[in-house]
Structure formats: structure tokens, C-alpha cells
Amino acid sequence: MKNCIQSCAGMVMVASLACAVGFAQSSGEAIYKARCLNCHGPAGLANSGIGKLMKVKPVTDPSVRNMSEEAMIEAIRKGIGKMQGYKGDLTDTQIKSLAVYFRTFIK
């Protein structure tokens, strides 16, 4: 019985750690889906109705493609064009993870 309890407790700890690591790795993706997807689209191509209406530049645009990570972080923090800034809504860590995730669309 004691071995069973220890085994179950161990499995619960491993599962908890796996979930925490998975969340940490996908936080940029989760924030993107919640805050950016409507305008920037699922692949950063800005081909949604709102994206087209607001004339959002796609990730394929040279001005976006050539932005450094730091420049993207600042654009997210302060806003750029018609995009609002997220300085008060997201932490610096969240903003950085969002920029890192968005940069995965650049090919």
C-alpha cells in the first residue's frame, strides 16, 4: 500500500512538472492566440478581415521581417501604427515570449 501511494505521488509530481514546462514553452503562443490572432492571423500573414481593414503588415513584409527581436519587443510594448501597446497589460517576460513566438513565423 505504501509503495502504491509513493508511486502515485511520484506520477502526480511528474505530470505537474510536465504541465508547468509545457505552459512555459507555449506562453508566447497562448498570448498570441489571445491578443494578436484576430489582426495578424494564424501564421502572421495579416490576411484576416480585421488585418486587411487595418492594413497590418504581414510577417513577409521586409520591414517586419528585418526587425530585430529588440525592435519587436519595443513595438509590442509601446505599440506601432494602429496596434496598441501592451506595456501595462503584459509583463516584460510575456512581451518577450510573444516576440520570440511571432519571430517563428519569419522564414
pLDDT at 107 over 90: no
Which ranges constitute the DSSP H helices of the chain?
Answer: 2-35, 37-40, 49-53, 62-65, 69-78, 92-103
* Count of structural domains, the chain: 1
Mean pLDDT across the stretch 60-84? 95
The parent domain of residue 99 ranges over: 27-103
Which pLDDT score, from 0 to 100, does residue 9 have?
46
Express each pLDDT in 43-53 by its tens digit: 999 999 999 99
CATH number of the domain where residue 47 is located: 1.10.760.10
Q: Which of 26, 30, 52, 27 is nearest to 41 (CA)?
A: 52
- Can you give the pTM of this predicted structure? 0.73
- Tell me, yes or no, whether 12 lies in a domain: no
Structural domain contains residue 58: yes
The answer as to whether 55 is a domain residue is yes
Whether residue 82 has pLDDT greater than 60: yes
